[in-house]
Chains A and B, each alone.
Chain A
Amino acid sequence: MAIIEINNLSKNFGGVRPIDNLSLKINKGTITGIIGRNGSGKTTLMDLISGMVSADAGAVIIDGKIMNDKKPWTIARAGVARTFQTTRIFEQMTVMDNILAVIAEKNVFASLFEKDRAHYLKRAKKALMRVGLLEKENQMASKLSYGQRRLLEIARILASDARIILLDEPFSGVHPAMIKIVAEILQEMKNQGKTIIFIEHNIGLVRQLCDNLLFIPGKRLLPVCRPRSES
């Protein structure tokens, strides 16, 4: 069943219309790849789904509820998490704090008087361990290498327990060993029933991981065919 439905979505900036009357349905538990030339509107689509940018026309429906006019934090609380094209971590906080900051209580007053600290700590450690950053948990995030930053962002997503995950070029600039780790994590998340959408330039990775792909500018979701020996 469709967990994300996009109906006649349009967005224009000045004279440019990167998203033009787009309609598609994304099913739960699938991995969708978004490909296209630079500047074609891939990130815009992600911004529209996550609420960072408001649509000029059309609707984004998540889990049956219209979401495109909601604030980013409301959409996030509906179970959406995302990364950005450039690595955006909290530089002057520790690695552990980077994770804890995003998974703890969202309500202002609850966060002042948090209970359950051990529970969040456990979740954070688990995520850090999965990406291999646990030994660095007390290190200042600004000291991490580029690849480690990418991994930290993945760890944030893992720990956040989001159901819908948007990744903006998660493999860019990452060396092959790490690509393998991230690809495995994506598969694991899919197996847990999460829905993943990611922007990518590397066609090989798209073919390897995705169930469907969207070519921007394009109008339809296309299924990805894999020979039996690969899937």
Chain B
Amino acid sequence: MADYFIHLATIIGVWAILAVSLELVVGYAGLPSLAQIAFCGIGAYTVAVLSTVCGANFFVSILAAMLAAGVASFLIGIVLNKFRGDYYALGSLGFNVIIFSVFLNWDEVTNGPLGISGIFRPEFFGIDFYGGISFLILILLVLGIVFVISQFIVNSSFGRVLKAIREDEEVIQAFGYNTSFFKSVIFIISAAMAGAAGGLFASYYTFIDPTSFRMMQSVFVLAIIILGGLANLYGAIAGSAFLIILPEILRFSGFPTDTAAQMQQLVYGLILVLLMLFRPQGLIGEYKL
């Protein structure tokens, strides 16, 4: 029983890291990115390949995952910076699909639809994180670091500039800020965090395949931060907990297990619609879409 709760908490933790990372880009900088799960996937596959092919140390793999996601986001960000609003969202979706295509088709590296298995759970500094509770502690540690860094960013002058970009990019440009640069930097930081989440995800499940990184998953992360409230880091965490726990409660009240994933999708789809209609600022948000 305790195992179940530990598992749930771990899942919430991974999604919370993703949510916090997306919050920086969507909630603060106002960039409607739907590519987050792609960066998560890049991180996951990097760790998967490094650990199964090279047997690399976990810590190194995670850093590599963040680097890979960061580089990809740098290139993608340069293109996306030229778009605004719905076209930005559309473009980011496009990149998500392209990257998913790569996961699905680059058989030599990613093993295509079969996925990669046999990823091992980490061990470093002599401590092993194989067990459920120790992995949870690892996740919470990473979440804590990500959260602290994000708080630092949003409370700084940099964070204020991001909000100004969100409000009126032309005006903040007219006051001397190279907004493309600011946008790129936050995009890369966010992607690196997502990459780390992906690496942890791969390590936890010891198996990954492309289906975890489809566009609907990006919509899910977006739903989390809109529910929790945009421009509020605590909201990102609250939203993750809510959207993971709620379908589980529904599952216990009698819906068959094999439709669990659909149930979750139904729930967050419905929540998105209801939020847009009645409460666009989410639970504790400071910014309305």
Given a CB threshold of 8 Å, the question of whether A touches B is answered with yes
Which residues of chain A have a CB within 8 Å of any CB of chain B?
Answer: 50, 52, 71-73, 76-77, 81-82, 84, 88-93, 97, 100-106, 108, 111-114, 117, 156, 160
Q: Please report the number of residue pairs spanning A and B whose Cβ atoms sit closer than 8 angstroms.
A: 89
Residues of chain A within 8 A of B182, CB atoms compared: 108
Please list 29 pairs of residues, one from A and one from B, whose beta carbons are closer than 8 Å in the complex, sorted by A's number. A71-B173, A72-B174, A73-B173, A73-B174, A73-B175, A73-B179, A76-B173, A76-B174, A76-B175, A76-B176, A88-B168, A88-B170, A89-B167, A89-B168, A92-B166, A92-B167, A100-B157, A101-B160, A101-B164, A102-B172, A104-B160, A108-B178, A108-B182, A111-B161, A112-B153, A112-B156, A112-B157, A112-B158, A114-B156
Interface-centre pick from A52, A90, A117 (highest chain B CB count, 10 A): A90
Interface of B, secondary structure class, is helix
Residues of A within 8 A of B176 (CB): 73, 76-77, 102, 106
B30 to A, closest residue via Cβ: A92
Task: Give the interface size class of chain B.
Answer: 20 to 34
Contact A104 B167 (CB under 8 A): no
| CB-based contact A91/B156 at 8 Å | no
CB of A118 to closest CB in B, whole Å: 13
Q: Is the Cβ of A101 less than 8 Å from the Cβ of B172?
A: yes
> With contacts A92-B167, A108-B185, A112-B158 known, is A82 near B174, CB below 8 A?
yes
* CB closest chain-A residue, reference B156: A112
B149 to chain A, nearest CB (A): 11
* Distance in angstroms between the alpha carbons of A106 and B164 in the assembled complex: 13
Q: How far is the CA of A91 from the CA of B177 in the complex (A)?
A: 18
Say if the beta carbon of B288 comes within 8 Å of chain A: yes
**Residues in A neighbouring B175, C-beta threshold 8 A:** 73, 76, 81, 102-103, 156, 160
With contacts A101-B164, A104-B157, A104-B161 taken as known, whether A73 is within 8 angstroms of B170 at the C-beta atoms is no
The distance in angstroms between the C-alpha atoms of A76 and B27, with both chains bound, is 27
Which of A89, A102, A114 has its CB near the most chain B CB atoms (within 10 A)? A102
Whether the Cβ atoms of B171 and A97 lie closer than 8 Å is: no
Contacts of A108 in B (CB 8 A): 158, 178, 181-182, 185
Q: Known contacts A52-B170, A102-B172; decide if A71 and B178 are in contact (CB<8 Å).
A: yes
A108-B160 Cα distance, complex, nearest whole Å = 12
Which B residues are in CB contact (< 8 Å) with A77? 176
A77 to B168 alpha-carbon distance, docked (Å)? 18
**Is the CB of B287 closer than 8 A to any CB of chain A?**
yes
Q: Which of B164, B170, B171 is most buried by chain A, counting CB atoms within 10 A of its CB? A: B171
Contact (Cβ within 8 A) B157 A73: no
* Complex Cα spacing A50 to B173, Å: 10
B174 touches A50 (CB 8 A): yes
**Is B286 interfacial (CB 8 A cutoff)?**
yes
Mask for B278-289, Cβ within 8 A of A = 1, else 0?
000000001110
Q: Which residues of B contact A117 (CB under 8 A)?
A: 157
B178 touches A102 (CB 8 A): no
Q: Chain A's nearest CB lies how many Å from the CB of B137?
A: 29
- Out of B153, B157, B168, B185, name the residue touching A90 (CB < 8 Å): B168
Flag if B157 contacts A111 (CB, 8 Å). yes
Known: A100-B160, A111-B158, A111-B161. Contact between A90 and B173, CB under 8 A?
A: no
A93 touches B172 (CB 8 A): no
> Which partner residue on chain A sits nearest B152 by CB separation?
A112
Across-interface contacts of A105 in B (CB, < 8 A): 157
- Extra inter-chain contacts (5) besides given A91-B167, A111-B161, CB under 8 Å: A90-B163, A102-B164, A103-B175, A104-B160, A106-B178
B176-202 contacts to A (CB < 8 Å):
176-179, 181-182, 185
Chain A residues within 8 Å of B179, by CB: 73
With A90-B163, A111-B156 known as contacts, the answer to whether A106 contacts B287 (CB < 8 A) is no
Which residue of A has the minimal Cβ distance to B189?
Answer: A112
> How far, in angstroms, from A92 to B153 measured CA to CA in the complex?
18
Question: Cα distance A104–B161 when bound, in Å?
Answer: 9
Report B-chain residues with C-beta under 8 Å of the C-beta of A91: 167
A160 to chain B, nearest CB (A): 6
